[in-house]
Amino acid sequence: MSVDFEKLIAEARAQRNFSPFLAAVPYFRFLGLTVKPGETDGELICVLPADPKLIGNARLPALHGGVVGALLESAAIVQLIWSADADRIPKIIDLQVDYLRSARPVETFARAIITKHGRRVANVRAEAWQDDPARPVAAAHAHFLLAP
């Protein structure tokens, strides 16, 4: 299992194709997460589909804040795997999410920037948006453990 998964991570990085990697992680399948190239070289955009099971407020309606947090964390993980020479999924240490606007239950995007890539710890910022990247619905700041 672990050898296969390392291979999927290596393939995702080499071919810039995250589909087999995302398909191997149950939670990414649960979210329906996909990855597409961003506008700049090396930038990846995570795409969360519109799905009624991701709604956190049925009355508004709005996406669940935890799902928005999960999307931001996932964008950071995908960007770290793509940018770093890691053969396993980085472990999250902490996450701070600022909720800037109510996120409607529509397709939502996220990208991450690695602010500092240390030997053991990475510092990442991530943003999520819906129609307009200039109007983010949430922004996050997180640390990940790269090596035990």
Partner 1 sequence: MPQISPDSIDPKVVEAMVLQGIPHCAALGVRVIEVRSSHVTLSLPYNADLVGDPVSGILHGGAVTSLIDSVAGMAVFAALFAAQQKLQAIATLDLRIDYLKPALAQKELYATAECYKLTRSIAFARGRAYHPETPDDLVANCVGTFMIGSSDKPPLPKDAKVPGVKP
Query: Considering only residues 53, 107, 115, 135, which one is a binding residue for partner 1 as defined by CB under 8 A?
Result: 53
Query: Considering only residues 35, 54, 78, 110, which one is a binding residue for partner 1 as defined by CB under 8 A?
Result: 54
Closest residue by Cα to residue 70 from 40, 27, 106, 100? 27
Is 71 a binding residue for partner 1 by CB under 8 A? The answer is: yes
- DSSP class of residue 85 equals -
Tokens of 39: 């506008």
Is 50 a binding residue for partner 1 by CB under 8 A? The answer is: no
Closest residue by Cα to residue 117 from 66, 42, 38? 42
User: CA 116 to CA 119: how far, in whole Å?
Assistant: 10
CB of 118 to partner 1, least distance (A): 18
Query: Considering only residues 16, 17, 27, 106, which one is a binding residue for partner 1 as defined by CB under 8 A?
Result: 27
CB of 28 to partner 1, least distance (A): 8
Interacting positions 86-115 with partner 1 (CB under 8 A): 88-89, 91-99, 102
Q: How many CA atoms lie within 13 A of 84 on its CB side?
A: 27
